[in-house]
Structure 1
């Protein structure tokens, strides 16, 4: 079984099919649990969406998010003592860890997501779906002992199956994996990812046929004049997406700087969400019911604008205060609201003939791509929602505009922006973990030639004749690094006998330029370039500076090029 996926694409596709079944089951089970929690907590009738109904008991709407915040805070308190390392999501796992994802961590994220969503926090379940499905895929890949590139593909299969099952949209799920989880589209990854998305969607529809994605109704006909307002709507959504992401970051930063303990923040956030829900219950949970309610009915401008502001505030407060979840569906809802608001102004911007539902589709895709990323993902979502190719072309134009605005003015999607706030430098799921694994301690030579910095030039010449070695690292009596000298320079620079008594330290170079064993190849190359040196000493740390090795620029560049080429061949399927 381990040999089959390593040696043939059929084996990897078979593994993707198994992951797709698991993803479909995960989505169905988590959806059932969340809906059951909504029914019990908010006393709903069976089949009723939380954000699409009116909860008569205002006290219940206030108390439920507070209770969820208390439960989540208790869970955070336990995790702070039991599991101190940060929880890794599929994007980070594929970018930095070669697809290695803890299944235990994934289950913890899913429980947190269910508690948050089940008690009404303004977050969706998509983060939990993709986390558990990808965690199962990674576990499966570990059991099969897959190569790094195949492991990353299998994690993408898990995420693809989860999104496909959640939205009844296999193409959306597949391109979600390509653009956001794997970071690239290749022929090798096409078959397993698409197979996983298709099978996961079939499994989810078999188990819960009523959860069939988003229905927007008729979108009307498209004429060339409609592209101008659609492009303007894309630009607006790009700007608003940036504001939303910065709003979440502002809430998180404010909470971090406050004296409020981490386990109490969800309670305060839940109280604020509960107060907002007393104004409009449509801000609760992911927003499925609210989306269909606002798409199917004519809503006044003020009501749409109020709900947009309330939902954006509730989502930022929920995530910023510690509730676990994502902005995928929230961004779709807010984008649809922006689109319907824009439809009131569209007639004044040109000869536009679009229906309000069409602007809602354009808006939801444009805001979602601004926040989540993945232009083709959101374009295919519009295609699978509407089944209309002219509409899809219009959405593509708007989505590209929104994506361009965000990349130019901001540079991040929501997931990579949160990594940036944590100190990471990744901007996508493209595999950069191999660069971090190619560290100086793996590249250096440990058999470095050393000499005391205080010996005379004459003694140095006797100890290191020409041809014995190229470079010698000088050390202080306590073993501290003192610089590097070139043996030919020592022999050729001083010819007078009176200068032969000078300590060799006077010829030392790069006294303050050293490499650390934890630096990666890219950082080492940058330091070589900055110092204009062909070789640098490697020291244990910056305090004691004990010499442990020597690294040359030529060897670093050769090994870096070899790994880069190997990674390219893995992605293209040559390995």
Structure 2
């Protein structure tokens, strides 16, 4: 009996091992769960470190806006500048540390081998820590996601995963970090698959989703948990009000590219400054500090301001002031080179734009429209969809934050409209990897639809049907080609003259014999290409042709338009393969 039990256990172990070895996704599931747990703990450690530094600097912790309001005006100026200076010193230190790998988790997942440098990542996180804790107008989620991805990378390297498995595990860590920051496990998984990886494949999505869920459960079970945004109950939307949410989506789609352009312009302006990095960050912090003398709401990433918009009544003029100055403060912080995220400031801008739109709608139709907070909630998703070029992720994130089915219809139409409007205006996006992926997709479509008319080059090796022996000989002597093209009086293609035929005629030719191109003409020996022929068909023609070029002939009138070179066709194919 014991022997039979031992045999059964051994067989079960062998079957389990075979099952795990047949699927990379199955094998990664337990490690993805562990990456989710460790990623959540890493984000908690980063958040508590921010609170600790806040308490040391000012005696307050928690909301940065409340902290700013409690400080004298001169401390509001000094703290962001001093924090930027310290953050810059850590940033310089990180740049002097040999990395040996991709320092950004997105690069490590998309073009790297999944290895993240530990010392450099920790130093950059310390830089971000001081920027955020001292009032810098930047999101904390960037460093949280980076730390969670770093933990996953170290876990995979400890387990000796290959490059493909390590990349997936780093993606799991990134999803866990975003989930921990926003209490949105499904959206966290879709963020990584839709933005970072660029495709939803189950062998990737399964482990990433497991990591997100485990991270969310971990955050909820630990004491002191509270969601970043406290969403009120979303009202039911009926009838024509859906049109107003479509208009909100279009509004966010128009503003989003301008917001991202402003951030890029700020980066370029700071890069032109011939100053050390710490001084640049100090200047950015000083700008934030000066603005906060009058409007302390510009401090931090905007969590508390968004929660206030969702639960309190704001005057439209003050919303506009806070929105404009917050955008300027964010541009100063990010442009100076601070390490952090733009995700949370983007949600703030969307909430403010939505709130203003709701005030207008409620003022015009007070009995037929929802309160402004409903438009603020949808505006967060619409502006996020337009800025990240990831509408599905934005829809899921706001839905998970609200846990309300009522928000789905206005949210979907607003996010989709915002995405398409923003894409029609510009291809700019919050993340470089998204911009590159869109450009690659555009290149693939262009190359796949390429016709030979786009590759036509003029040719000088053309002779009339009446060309004599001397003219033919001169043409072959001047151009090192195997074939010369022959056209009639109207420029219509007739065939080719072959160098081999000319040589044989020269050996047999008697003095005084008349010889013209008509006598040596080959009509069907060389394939011709039509101007609307695609890459695949053209390549097939070149496969059976030993030469470097083929004539392009208009199929309607038979006119010789020029030539296409084999190297041009092969180069187009190479670019198509590289983009894929």
TM-score by length of 2: 0.71
Report what 1:463 is aligned to.
none
The CA deviation string for residues 130-182 of structure 1, in whole angstroms up to 9 with x for no partner, is 11212222333344454554433322211111111111221121111221122
1:221-240 aligned at under 5 Å gives the runs 221-240=236-255
Q: How many residues are treated as equivalent by the alignment?
A: 466
1:240-279 aligned at under 5 Å gives the runs 240-279=255-294
Report what 1:117 is aligned to.
132
Superposition deviation, residue 100 in structure 1: 4.0
How far apart, CA to CA, are the structure 2 residues paired with 1:491 and 1:397? 68
How far apart, CA to CA, are the structure 1 residues paired with 2:360 and 2:249? 14
Report what 1:50 is aligned to.
64
Aligned partner of 2:56 among 33, 40, 43: 40
Superposition deviation, residue 185 in structure 1: 1.0
SS of equivalent to 2:293: helix
How far apart, CA to CA, are the structure 2 residues paired with 1:371 and 1:562? 29
How far apart, CA to CA, are the structure 1 residues paired with 2:297 and 2:172? 33
1:156-555 aligned at under 5 Å gives the runs 156-347=171-362, 352-416=368-432, 425-427=436-438, 494=503
Report what 2:558 is aligned to.
none
8 Å contact from structure 1 (residues 181, 429) kept in 2: no
TM-score by length of 1: 0.72
How far apart, CA to CA, are the structure 2 residues paired with 1:205 and 1:384? 14
**In terms of mean alpha carbon deviation, does 103-112 or 406-415 score higher?**
103-112
The CA deviation string for residues 190-214 of structure 1, in whole angstroms up to 9 with x for no partner, is 3211110111111122234433231
Q: CA RMSD in A?
A: 3.8
Superposition deviation, residue 558 in structure 1: 9.6
SS of equivalent to 2:246: helix
Q: Judging changes above 3 Å, is the alpha-carbon distance between structure 1 residues 85 and 373 closer, same or farther for their aligned structure 2 residues?
A: farther
Q: Judging changes above 3 Å, is the alpha-carbon distance between structure 1 residues 227 and 88 closer, same or farther for their aligned structure 2 residues?
A: farther
Superposition deviation, residue 354 in structure 1: 1.6
Superposition deviation, residue 29 in structure 1: 0.6
Which blocks of at least 5 consecutive residues in structure 1 are unaligned? Answer: 433-482, 498-524, 537-550, 568-575
Superposition deviation, residue 63 in structure 1: 0.9
How far apart, CA to CA, are the structure 2 residues paired with 1:142 and 1:428? 33
SS of equivalent to 1:263: helix
**In terms of mean alpha carbon deviation, does 82-91 or 189-198 score higher?**
82-91
Please tell me whether residue 90 in structure 1 is matched to residue 113 in structure 2: no
Superposition deviation, residue 344 in structure 1: 1.4
8 Å contact from structure 1 (residues 6, 147) kept in 2: no
8 Å contact from structure 2 (residues 99, 117) kept in 1: no
Aligned partner of 1:17 among 19, 24, 33: 33
8 Å contact from structure 1 (residues 34, 117) kept in 2: yes
How far apart, CA to CA, are the structure 1 residues paired with 2:93 and 2:19? 41
Report what 2:13 is aligned to.
none
Q: Judging changes above 3 Å, is the alpha-carbon distance between structure 1 residues 256 and 557 closer, same or farther for their aligned structure 2 residues?
A: closer
Which blocks of at least 5 consecutive residues in structure 2 are unaligned? Answer: 1-16, 444-478, 484-497, 508-535, 549-565
Superposition deviation, residue 563 in structure 1: 9.7
Q: Judging changes above 3 Å, is the alpha-carbon distance between structure 1 residues 71 and 61 closer, same or farther for their aligned structure 2 residues?
A: same
Report what 2:14 is aligned to.
none
Greater length-normalized contact order (CA 8 Å, ≥ 6 residues apart): 1
8 Å contact from structure 1 (residues 367, 402) kept in 2: yes
Report what 1:466 is aligned to.
none
Aligned partner of 1:31 among 12, 26, 47: 47
8 Å contact from structure 2 (residues 73, 293) kept in 1: yes
Q: Judging changes above 3 Å, is the alpha-carbon distance between structure 1 residues 534 and 290 closer, same or farther for their aligned structure 2 residues?
A: farther
Please tell me whether residue 128 in structure 1 is matched to residue 143 in structure 2: yes
Q: Judging changes above 3 Å, is the alpha-carbon distance between structure 1 residues 347 and 15 closer, same or farther for their aligned structure 2 residues?
A: same
Report what 2:560 is aligned to.
none
How far apart, CA to CA, are the structure 2 residues paired with 1:231 and 1:411? 21
SS of equivalent to 1:414: coil
**In terms of mean alpha carbon deviation, does 319-328 or 201-210 score higher?**
201-210
SS of equivalent to 1:264: helix
Larger Rg computed on CA atoms? 2
How far apart, CA to CA, are the structure 1 residues paired with 2:237 and 2:136? 38
SS of equivalent to 2:70: coil
**In terms of mean alpha carbon deviation, does 200-209 or 250-259 score higher?**
200-209
Q: Judging changes above 3 Å, is the alpha-carbon distance between structure 1 residues 494 and 398 closer, same or farther for their aligned structure 2 residues?
A: same
Q: Judging changes above 3 Å, is the alpha-carbon distance between structure 1 residues 553 and 38 closer, same or farther for their aligned structure 2 residues?
A: same
Please tell me whether residue 65 in structure 1 is matched to residue 88 in structure 2: no
8 Å contact from structure 2 (residues 29, 207) kept in 1: yes
How far apart, CA to CA, are the structure 2 residues paired with 1:372 and 1:41? 34
Report what 1:473 is aligned to.
none
How far apart, CA to CA, are the structure 2 residues paired with 1:117 and 1:155? 24
